[in-house]
Structures are given as C-alpha cells and as structure tokens.
Amino acid sequence: MPSSTSNTPAISSKSSYLITRWQDTLAPVATRARPIARTNPANELIISDETVTFKDTRGTGRKLTAHAPDRDESHSLLTNE
C-alpha cells in the first residue's frame, strides 16, 4: 500500500474492491449525484447513486441506496468501485 501522511488506507485501490454497509455515523465532506440508467432493468431498485468524499481518506467512494420491496426498506452500501 502506498505510504501517506495518514494511516488511513486508500479506498480507491485499483487492485481490490470494498463493499460494506453504510454507517449512519459516516460524514462525507462532499457528495455528488451520479446518473442512474433507468432503462436498465438491473437498476430498477436503485434509489440513489452518489460519489462521496471523506475528510480522512484518500480518493472517493460510491454510496448506493436501493429499495428492498419485500421488506419495504432501503439499504445503503459504500464501495470503492
């Protein structure tokens, strides 16, 4: 892993992918909406797709929020893809 002034690992590594449940305590310093291809059936349950940046990490993350119709809930995930 490349060295940096922070001990926090980069979330934008090109060699591995991270996916984790979004925590309510996460506080991005910037968010940018990403377009969702609504004509693609794979995106039918996607509510939002955002690029997120955090203060103490290098790179950006991606927050995906999807609707779970069987439970009438929404779930958010963080990934570096």
In a domain, 25, yes or no: no
Residue 13 counted as domain residue: no
Q: How many domains does the chain have?
A: 1
The string of pLDDT tens digits covering residues 1-50 is 444 444 555 555 567 778 888 888 888 899 999 999 999 999 999 999 99
- Asked if residue 26 belongs to a domain, the reply is no
Q: Is 39 inside a domain boundary?
A: yes
Please report whether residue 51 resides in a domain.
Answer: yes
Where in the sequence is the domain holding 51, given as residue range(s)? 31-79
Q: In angstroms, rounded to a whole number, what is the distance separating the alpha carbons of residues 71 and 14? A: 35
Asked if residues 30 and 53 have their Cβ atoms less than 8 Å apart, the reply is yes
Name the pTM for this structure: 0.73
- Which 8-state DSSP code applies to residue 40? S
Is the residue at 10 inside a domain? no
Q: Does a structural domain hold residue 44? A: yes
Average pLDDT, integer, range 42-60: 90
Residue-level pLDDT at 16: 76
pLDDT at 27: 86
